[in-house]
Amino acid sequence: MSEPPAPSAVSNKASRIAGLRTSSAILSGRTRTLTEALAAWTLAGPAVFFLLVLFLLPVISVFVIALTDWQFGAGTLSFVGLANFRAIFADAGFRASLIDTVLYVLIVVPATVVLGLLIALLIECGKSCRSFYRAIHFLPFMATLTAMAIAWEALLHPTIGLVNQILSAIGLPTANWLRDEYTALPVLAVIGVWQNLGYAMVLFLAGLKSIPQDLYDAANVDGADFWFDRLRIVTLPMLGPVSMFVVIVVALRAFQAFDTIQILTRGGPGHASEVLLYTLYRESFEYLRAGYGAAVAVVFLAIVMTLTLVQVRVMDNKVHYQ
């Protein structure tokens, strides 16, 4: 009869088997992790590639061009450092366009948010034709802005425009709305409000639909049965996240105003309606000063990002999340 293996030999064999199993498990885990990573990059690769090509590389290129004196069509360029930025802040035209941009945004954003909320409340309180009213107010946002700008140009014509004809018929003074330096920018802001109003309204309607009815019932039990008390105690606090989103999006769209200005006023009269985005276009594609235009783009991007972060920080502290 053969002798049974010694306990130490059995223990060593068991240890070797356990080690092999552990190594196999580690190798299997690494293979699985590698396979998952490869699958993830295979799926995300096209999106990452297009993000780099269509977004990150152009942004980097703009920053690089802003440090040169390159002009469109020129075969050579020179590195000028921050000279373009110094020229921007010394330019009275740039400061005027910055002021025009701020005024435009200060008119468009509050008016769009307040009127959008008001219209949403009125539609939500109504009992009939809700879909019709939503479609009517949302139509300007869906329409082609170029065509709508041409329609506005006809309405605001100094002699045959419907606006002046109505004002003249009721005995009010008329004006050359798009050629007067005191009215051009406010009129463009009104058109901006008209364009963005439907978008804000739809978002507020969605926010109103998400407010639980139980909160209004509880407010009634606590004595807040007047509509203004319900609005102040329940509706506005619960619309906080939607309001923050609407303010940020409308502000970004207001900063990006270009089409109506290009079609209706071309920044005039006397640069009275020239905003930063139109200054960027004019310097880059009319005067062909690509380096200077890129510097304007960098400043524009910095201003928009700063204001957006400030809005998020300030409003986020006042927002009630459900």
The pLDDT value given to residue 187: 94
What CATH number should be reported for the domain whose range is 84-316?
A: 1.10.3720.10
The number of beta carbons lying within 10 Å of the beta carbon of residue 174 is: 14
Q: With beta carbons less than 8 A apart as the criterion, state whether 178 and 152 touch.
A: no
CA dist., res. 297 & res. 50, Å (int): 22
> Phi and psi for 79 in degrees, rounded to 5?
-80, 120
Per-residue model confidence as pLDDT tens digits over 264-321: 999 888 889 999 999 999 988 888 888 999 999 999 989 888 888 887 777 766 555 5
Question: Tokens 């409000």 belong to which residue?
Answer: 193
Per-residue model confidence as pLDDT tens digits over 203-261: 999 888 888 888 877 878 777 777 778 888 888 888 888 988 899 899 999 998 998 99
**DSSP states along 38-99:** HHHHHHHHHHHHHHIIIIIHHHHHHHHHTTB---TT-S---B-TTHHHHHHHH-HHHHHHHH
103-125 burial code (b ≥16 CB/10 A, e <16)? ebbebbbebbbebbbebbbebee
Omega before 212 within 30 of 0, i.e. cis: no
Taking CB atoms within 8 Å and a gap of at least 24, the contacts of 121-126 are 121/204, 121/208, 121/231, 121/235, 123/201, 123/205, 124/205, 124/208
CA dist., res. 185 & res. 273, Å (int): 5
Strands of 199-297 (E only): list them.
Answer: none
Per-residue model confidence as pLDDT tens digits over 105-161: 999 999 999 999 999 998 888 767 777 777 787 888 787 888 888 899 999 998 889
CA dist., res. 257 & res. 271, Å (int): 15
Host H or E run for residue 202: helix 184-209
CA angle 249, 184, 86 (to 5 degrees): 70
Give residue limits of the domains in the chain: 1-46, 84-316
Q: Is the pTM of this model over 0.85?
A: no
The pLDDT value given to residue 34: 81
Dmax of the chain from CA atoms? 127
CA angle 49, 54, 60 (to 5 degrees): 100
Strands of the chain (E only): list them.
Answer: none
Token pair recorded at residue 281: 């276009």
Residue 235 region by backbone torsions, left for phi larger than 0, else alpha for psi between -120 and 50, else beta: alpha
Say yes or no to pLDDT of 12 above 70. no
Going by C-beta distance under 8 Å and a sequence separation of 6 or more, which residues neighbour residue 261? Answer: 188, 267, 273, 274, 275, 278
Per-residue model confidence as pLDDT tens digits over 67-102: 998 887 777 788 888 999 999 989 888 999 999 999
